[in-house]
Structure 1
Amino acid sequence: MLKEVRKHRRFASLRAIGALILREVQTSHGRASGGYFWSIAEPAGGIVLLTLIFSVTFALPPIGSSFAMFYATGMVPFMGYLDMSGKVAGAVRYSMALLAYPAVTFVDALLARIIFNSMTQIMVATLIFTAIATFNETRTDPQIDQIAIAMAMMLLMGSAVGMMNCFLFEAFSWWQPLWSMLMRPFFLLSCIFFIFDDVPQPYQDWLWWNPLIHVIGQMRRAFYPSYAGDYVSYLYVFGLGFGLFALGLALLVRYHRDLQNS
């Protein structure tokens, strides 16, 4: 009997997550012609446009022969992290009306957003890298398994930070504008325009604690086999990511009803 109840709950949760994912697809740029297409085309087009602009300004990249590809290997994981963390942070607030129904839980809302935005970011990255490689002589040797690791690192950090902020944004009204202000310097502190190896001491030791340094470093050594990227630490990124994810989830489990009623 107990097994049947658990099985029923499991299938109910899967149905709820599936329905929430379909809702995300339908509501993403729902008023615009093309709908979900713009969820992929908008970030991809923005990154490609910035890549082309900076390619004119900076002739030679620190590694490789194409600044467009060098810039994209930094910009794609950085923007993917920002978008992922922002979307996950707003998951509960976005689905607040649906959480009044017993069949939908806040975990369903979070998982639906994580799954939907993970698929979107993978398609955006594929589109950007394919377009640059098609129209530019990049002299890169992309390693699919290493790219997959970089994407996993990015998606985990985005989900983990988003999970923490999902709680903090609702618990403390001042945290969201403060977080937005704190994240602005990270565009320059995440080695998008340069490589970590060129940063002088003691700043290199300080920057190492920025997890995005490791994500971008992993993406670059996935495209440039000659780039060692010895500073990249899987243990640090995955440990920090799973730790933040677990802490954020625990806080939401403990306080989500109080946050919904506040």
Structure 2
Amino acid sequence: MFTQRRTTTIFGAAGTTLALIHHQTVYNLRTEHRNAVVGLLLTILQTAIFMGAFLLIYLVIGVRQSPIRADFMMFIMSGIFLFMTHVQTVGAVSSSHSVSGQLVKHDPLNPAVLIAASALAVLYRQTISCIAILWLYHVLIAPVEMTRPVGALAMYLLAWLSGVCVGLVFLGIRPWAPRGSKILTTIYQRVNMFASGKMFVANILPNFMLPWFTWNPLFHVIDQERGYMFINYSPQKTDPAYALWFSCAALMVGLLINFSTRKYESISWSATQ
């Protein structure tokens, strides 16, 4: 009973890893709230409040219709859903584990499992939140129609993937500069409040302002999302390939930092924190 089970085949190892990711994802979801249903309702409420705040801002500044010939609320949701998914994934992955954490001391677990579980927990919560809000809007207010739902879903997953890769970079920095990494993560999340482009349409943006936004993969993803959702909008200044290549580059940088850090990271580093 004190002997740990060892897998001898690649399929057995893959099954064990997937099981660990599943259980750790459930654990992360339950840590948000003791009741899983209440935790999901709180996530839905948070997104709804965010949407209400932006709707109020639009009404205060006098904007009462979408800059695209489409439903105004769908225009708002197309930006907020992707923004919330990206930003929360960055925060979750950047704080997914630490060398001094208690869970890391259990042999079956490893950093890859903890990172994957943190990212999947955010994806699960935000996906349920988006589906619930869209369903309520479809039933209570107006029918929800998307021109190309498969492309819209692909952009949603790309927003999540880019958040995972950016969060991995901040995770690699955290052991060397814990407070600095937290500050950088917060700055990145706050900058995306404006730099993500969720409040305006990229096609009407003047060319001299484009460099302020084109560096951000979320800016490209949100604009492309609206191109897939609305039949009357064709993105001209963004490219989904940029977001994909940016994510791949951030993933490689994050992996290099994390693998290099594990050679030197020590539990004593967190003694003064």
Q: Tell me if TM exceeds 0.5.
A: yes
Question: Which residue is 1:13 aligned to?
Answer: 17
Q: Hey, what's the Cα distance between the residues in 2 that align with 1:139 and 1:115? A: 26
User: Which blocks of at least 5 consecutive residues in structure 1 are unaligned?
Assistant: none
Q: Offset at 1:240?
A: 1.0
Moved >6 Å (runs of 4+): none
Amino acid at match of 1:46: I
Q: Offset at 1:139?
A: 8.0
Cα-to-partner distance string for 1:184-203 (whole Å, 9 max, x where unaligned): 23312222221111111211
Specify whether residues 237 and 126 from structure 1 end up closer, same or farther in structure 2 by C-alpha distance, changes over 3 A only.
same
Q: Hey, what's the Cα distance between the residues in 1 that align with 2:20 and 2:263? A: 19
Question: Which residue is 2:43 aligned to?
Answer: 40
Question: Which residue is 1:172 aligned to?
Answer: 177
RMSD of equivalent CA atoms: 2.7
Q: Does 1:209 align with 2:246?
A: no
Q: Offset at 1:125?
A: 2.0
Tell me the secondary structure at the aligned position of residue 107 of structure 2: coil
Question: Which residue is 2:251 aligned to?
Answer: 245
Specify whether residues 125 and 175 from structure 1 end up closer, same or farther in structure 2 by C-alpha distance, changes over 3 A only.
same
State TM-score, norm by structure 2: 0.83
Identity %: 17
Specify whether residues 178 and 110 from structure 1 end up closer, same or farther in structure 2 by C-alpha distance, changes over 3 A only.
closer
Give the length in aligned residue pairs. 260
Question: Which residue is 1:99 aligned to?
Answer: 104
> Of residues 217, 227, 241 in structure 2, which corresponds to 1:235?
241
Q: Hey, what's the Cα distance between the residues in 1 that align with 2:7 and 2:102? A: 30
Query: Would you say the 8 A contact 1:55–1:68 is kept in 2?
Result: no
Q: Offset at 1:117?
A: 1.7
Amino acid at match of 1:243: A
Question: Which residue is 2:3 aligned to?
Answer: none
Cα-to-partner distance string for 1:138-171 (whole Å, 9 max, x where unaligned): 7853421011111121011110111111111222
State TM-score, norm by structure 1: 0.87
User: Which blocks of at least 5 consecutive residues in structure 2 are unaligned?
Assistant: 1-5
Specify whether residues 54 and 134 from structure 1 end up closer, same or farther in structure 2 by C-alpha distance, changes over 3 A only.
farther
